[in-house]
Amino acid sequence: MTEHQAVKQTADAKMLDGARVAGEIKAEVRQGVDEFVQTYNSPPALAVVRVGDDAASLVYVRNKIRTSEELGFRSEHHALPASTSEAELLDLVSQLNGRDDVDGILVQLPLPSGIDEKKVIESIDPAKDVDGFHPLNIGRLVAGQSEAAPCTPAGIIELLKRSNIEMRGAHACVVGRSHIVGRPMAQLLLQHDATVTICHSRTIDLASITRQAHILVVAIGRAAFIRGEHIKPGAVVVDVGMNKLTDATMIDELFDDVEAARRHANFEKRGYTLIGDVHPAEAMKRAGWLTPVPGGVGLLTVAMLMRNTLHAARRRLTI
């Protein structure tokens, strides 16, 4: 931790550029895919499975498919109706597991009620689990042996590294203990020699703990929950949240005048604006570095998915 990361900044927080880092990762993946094709005469392949008509899932899947094709992957989109049974979904996963022309499998969450997400995740071949959610891959992550870490935490690590944020010796606090972000995030920070604290909904006096952190990662799904009082002056704040704000009267409280005007214009077109788990205006005045929402962590998640898929393809053909 450099000295200037632990003191109050005299100006507003600097933005951590997730778009730039995601672009760098995708360019590296694109080069890797080109080399893969030259070596094996076929591109790596990603199969994405979506069940039902959840609007957010549809957007996420379209983005993943579009990005994979832009980077030279072969992609498959298996769109199943909401009436699909658990047995039918498991049968499809089994078929994809057995196909030599599929390198990565992603089952988009959430799944409709009546389907056991845990059972579905565990049915994916760990070698093709590009989300990094399979228990075997989580175990490898804990052991420091993971080759397919969950995409969002892995993307955050890349963001910190490529932004010259020192993790070694820093006190890092992760707010949220989900298996998708919070817990693997803590493991990756620990592997980069940070001292890590995990906070959650049962943490007593949350602000007194988060204020100690040089690096604060927030992933709780509660809009603007983390306020200035939670942030150590000069801290690095990574906001993983992605929440729809449908009350336009809140925009002026959450943003400065320039950003508020832009958000109001966006709100008039869409009927909502996206905000994170961190109060943006208060964090800007308190933090040293901050990720924007949108345009921060979300872009990194897709980029890391592409990298995981390329690595899975390489491993499959070199074992």
- Distance, in Å, from the CA atom of 267 to the CA atom of 80, rounded to the nearest integer, reads 32
Catalytic site residue from 26, 64, 128, 232? 64
125 catalytically annotated: no
For residue 209, give the nearest of 221, 220, 195 by alpha carbon. 195
DSSP string covering 119-152: HHHHHS-GGGBTT--SHHHHHHHHTT--SS--HH
Closest by alpha carbon to 253, among 233, 232, 228, 236?
Answer: 228
Catalytic, 116? Answer no
Instruction: Out of 5, 17, 26, 108, pick the active-site residue.
Output: 108
Distance CA(243)–CA(224), nearest Å, equals 9
64 flagged as catalytic: yes
CB 185 within 8 A of CB 220: no
Q: Do 173 and 161 meet the contact criterion of CB atoms below 8 Å apart?
A: no
Residue whose C-alpha is closest to residue 307's, from 33, 70, 99, 20: 33
Name the catalytic one among 129, 131, 239, 277.
131
Residues with catalytic function: 64, 108, 131
